[in-house]
Amino acid sequence: MKKIYLGLVSLSALTLFTACGDNGDTAATSNGSDNAATEEEAIEGFIDIRGSDTMVNLGQAFAEEYMDFNESGDVSVTGGGSGTGIAAMINNEVDIAQSSRAMKDDEIEDAEANGAEPHEFIVGQDGLAVAINNDNPIEDLTIQEIKDVFTGEITDWSELGWDDGGAISVYSRQSNSGTYVYFNENVMDGEDFASGAMFMPGSSAIREAIEQESNAIGYIGIGYVEGIDAVNVAEDESSDYISPFEESNIDDGSYPIARPLFFYVNGEPEGIIEDYLKWVLTSEEADAVRYDTGFYQIGPYEEMNDETLSDLGLDW
């Protein structure tokens, strides 16, 4: 098993790396770590993956399990934010960009102008939790109430029913984060954050702040909610309040703040990159990794992946 070292990235909370990469030359079939590739089948090579801090734990776990399956392969997983991964793709410097938001058309055009060929695959879903301190008695919020808190229309917990809560302390991701982009566009309708909102470099930093401040609120991937709590969310006052903690609520699309998670593969997948992508999209071990790290299945996005594979002439 290859080693993955845990450290810090400049401008991010987390870096995970082993080696940086190129493609291998030998074909193999990935059927899971219980039937690890034989020496004759093993694909040698390195894969350089960069991007989303939300996905970095997922990426680390994928890499560890895959390298148990293919002991001849090394996978480097580095965080820094979705913007970091997308910038590396635009500069043609990375094999796979992890992103918790879709690349924009102009970003894809810029990448192609630099000789990169980003191909989009959805590798899981994330339930975005609206996280609060364990001492906070608030259990339910509507999308409108959440928007009003993060835009500064609501500034005190007493306006939401917690008379002793005091002024609300708002935490957000920084603007290079795909999570920031998704939340701002889909919950806040693109409006500005509240005056005094604190912008943090990663989900772990927001979790730690909320754990220490009883009046704090922030948004993070549900997989990062540990030692704190999260509210149930409803589309509006006439809708049911849905918990982000139940897997089925994300898988069936009933939780209102859920989103796809992306791999952008540079060029037509071949060699070790094709083998790794196939393992991530089709193996039972990868499915287990998603749930074990607090994420959810590809579900309704499988047809989109199939369409991309068909366009590339790949049939698994």
Angle at 183 between CA 179 and CA 189, to 5 degrees: 150
Residue 140, classed as helix, strand or coil, is strand
Distance of CA 237 to the CA centre of its chain: 29
Q: Do 70 and 46 form a contact (C-beta atoms < 8 A)?
A: no
pTM for the full predicted model: 0.78
Where does 5-125+260-311 sit in CATH, by number?
A: 3.40.190.10
**Amino acid identity of 229?**
D
Out of 3.20.20.70, 3.90.1260.10, 3.40.190.10, 3.30.1330.10, the CATH code matching 127-251 is 3.40.190.10
Please give the full DSSP string across 141-173, using - where no structure is assigned: EEHHHHHHHHHTS--BGGGGT-TT--B-EEEEE
Q: Could you give the percent of the chain with pLDDT greater than 70?
A: 87
**Amino acid identity of 233?**
V
Distance CA 276, CA 95 (A): 11
The answer to whether the 5-125+260-311 and 127-251 domains have the same CATH topology is: yes
**Residues forming beta bridges with residue 124, ordered by sequence position:** 261
Q: Which of 37-41, 121-125, 133-137, 160-164 shows the lowest mean pLDDT across its residues?
A: 37-41
**Amino acid identity of 307?**
E
pLDDT of residue 3: 30
- 216-221 vs 118-132, strand pairing mode: antiparallel
pLDDT in tens, 89-105: 999 999 999 999 999 99
Residue 289's alpha-carbon distances to 63, 179, 211, 250, 294, in angstroms, are 10, 21, 26, 16, 9
**Domain map (residue ranges) of the chain:** 5-125+260-311, 127-251
pLDDT bracket for residue 299 (50, 70, 90): confident
What does the block give as tokens for 150?
A: 């993060």
Q: Name the phi and psi angles at 240, rounded to 5.
A: -70, 145
pLDDT in tens, 55-95: 999 999 999 999 999 999 999 999 999 999 999 999 999 99
pLDDT in tens, 2-35: 333 333 333 333 333 333 344 444 433 344 444 4
**Amino acid identity of 180?**
Y
Q: Do 172 and 198 form a contact (C-beta atoms < 8 A)?
A: yes
Q: How many CB atoms lie within 10 A of CB 142?
A: 18
Distance CA 143, CA 233 (A): 7
Q: Is 115 left (phi over 0), alpha (psi -120 to 50) or beta?
A: left
Burial degree of 13 (CB within 10 A; 0-12, 13-18, 19+) = buried
Q: Do 84 and 50 form a contact (C-beta atoms < 8 A)?
A: yes
The stretch 142-153 carries a mean pLDDT of 98
Report CA torsion sign: 155, 157, 158, 161: positive
pLDDT in tens, 259-274: 999 999 999 999 999 9
Q: Could you give the percent of the chain with pLDDT greater than 90?
A: 78
Q: Is the pLDDT of residue 277 over 60?
A: yes
pLDDT of residue 28: 39
